């Protein structure tokens, strides 16, 4: 436990059902993708090989999106998973929306598909957990640069901090669970937003990175609160 954050190293499918109700589950689970091909471009970039090695291309069990355990669910998915995910949202939640992260710097590769210039996430909610934020925050499309270099935190599918901050602004309530925490981007955004965070990650290396990042976020939030108290 790190202040208002609780982190678990283990299997999300085993741990998440034991944690009880949260205002929102915010997750970026493994995509179902074709992880072969891409030719010379692929050969110069080892990230796809890591996705294969770590099984991050095999998709996820939709049962992890449980309407009995959260007021809202925010779930990233590949284009090929959207139909199934939308059926889960329609059948189990009051309302939902498809939102888009539009990358301002997409990779120059198509691999017999469209270029990966957009990633989708579904925001599904029960009554009372509808999207929050001012009118300027209630946009379904976010144009944000994809992380490169150190901003990836040595993870092949890192989401940008700016995107996760926007998503947390749109989330009602005070408690957030991320069953596929990775290197902790959701947790960093949740701490900055003043919310209680619980994260689960099965990879020990990514888990340790998440611990460091969330510890730093807690310290930064504490410092900011202390400064505000001095001003007051």
Integer CA distances (angstroms), 134 to 105, 143, 181, 200, in order: 27, 18, 27, 30
Which residue, among 27, 65, 18, has the nearest Cα to 179 in the 3D structure? 27
Range of the structural domain that residue 96 is part of: 5-231
How would you list the strands of the sheet with 5-9, edge to edge? 5-9, 196-201, 175-178, 22-27, 70-77, 118-125, 95-103, 141-144
Q: 42 versus 123: which is more confidently predicted?
A: 123
CATH value at residue 206: 3.40.50.150
Q: What is the mean pLDDT of the chain?
A: 91
Read off the pLDDT of residues 197-210 as tens digits, 9 standing for 90 and up.
999 999 999 999 99
Output the pLDDT for position 39. 60
Structurally, the chain folds into a number of domains equal to 1
**pLDDT of 82 over the 80 cut:** yes
Mean pLDDT of all residues in 14-18: 98
Q: How confident is the model at residue 49 (pLDDT cuts 50, 70, 90)?
A: confident
Task: Give the pLDDT confidence of 87-120 residue by residue, as tens digits.
Answer: 999 999 999 999 999 999 998 887 788 988 999 9
Rounded CA separation 46/116 (Å): 17
Place of tokens 């741990």: 15
Measured CA to CA, the distance from residue 210 to residue 185 in angstroms comes to 8
Rounded to the nearest 5°, which phi and psi values hold at 121?
-140, 145
Question: CB–CB of 132/171 below 8 Å?
Answer: yes
Q: Please, which pLDDT band fits residue 29 given cuts at 50, 70 and 90?
A: very high
Q: Considering the chain, what percentage of its residues have pLDDT values greater than 90? A: 74
Question: Which pLDDT belongs to residue 167?
Answer: 98
Greatest Cα-to-Cα distance within the chain, rounded to the nearest angstrom? 59
Q: What is the DSSP string of 170-227?
A: T--SSEEEETT-TTSHHHHHHHHTT-EEEEEES-HHHHHHHHHHHHHHHHHHHHHHHH
Cα four-point dihedral sign 110, 159, 28, 181: positive
pLDDT digits (tens, 9 = 90+) for 163-199: 999 999 999 999 999 999 999 999 999 999 999 999 9
């Amino acid at each position: 436990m790190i202040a208002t954050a609780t982190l678990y190293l283990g299997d999300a499918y085993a741990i998440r059902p034991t944690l009880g109700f949260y205002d929102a589950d915010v997750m970026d689970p493994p995509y179902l993708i074709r992880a072969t091909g891409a030719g010379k471009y692929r050969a110069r970039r080892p990230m796809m090989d890591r996705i294969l090695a770590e099984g991050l291309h095999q998709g996820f069990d939709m049962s992890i999106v449980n309407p009995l355990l959260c007021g809202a669910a925010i779930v990233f998915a590949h284009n090929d998973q959207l139909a199934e995910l939308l059926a889960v949202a329609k059948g189990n939640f009051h309302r939902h929306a498809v939102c888009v992260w539009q990358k301002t710097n997409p990779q120059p590769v198509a691999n017999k598909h469209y270029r990966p210039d957009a990633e989708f996430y579904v925001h599904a909610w029960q009554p009372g957990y509808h999207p929050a934020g001012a009118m300027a925050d209630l946009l379904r499309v976010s144009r944000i640069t994809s992380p490169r270099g150190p901003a990836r935190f040595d993870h092949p599918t890192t989401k940008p901090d700016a995107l996760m901050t926007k998503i947390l602004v749109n989330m009602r309530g005070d408690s957030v669970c991320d069953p596929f925490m990775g290197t902790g981007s959701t947790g960093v955004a949740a701490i900055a937003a003043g919310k209680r965070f619980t994260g689960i990650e099965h990879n020990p290396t990514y888990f340790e990175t998440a611990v460091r990042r969330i510890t730093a976020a807690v310290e930064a939030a504490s410092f900011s609160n202390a400064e505000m108290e001095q001003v007051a």
